[in-house]
Amino acid sequence: MSLDLDADKRRLFLVTAEDKPDALMRVLGVASVQQVRLRALTAQPEGADIAIRLEIDDQGDDRAHTLAARLAAVPAVRGVGHGWR
Which of 50-62 are b and which e, b meaning 16 or more Cβ less than 10 Å from the residue's Cβ?
Answer: bebebebebbeee
Report pTM.
0.87
pLDDT number for residue 1: 46
Distance, in Å, from the CA atom of 67 to the CA atom of 61, rounded to the nearest integer, reads 10
Query: pLDDT truncated to tens, each residue of the chain (85 aa)?
Result: 445 555 679 999 999 999 999 999 999 999 999 999 999 999 999 999 999 999 999 999 999 999 999 999 999 999 999 998 7
Burial class, 23, CB count within 10 angstroms (exposed 0-12 / middle 13-18 / buried 19+): buried
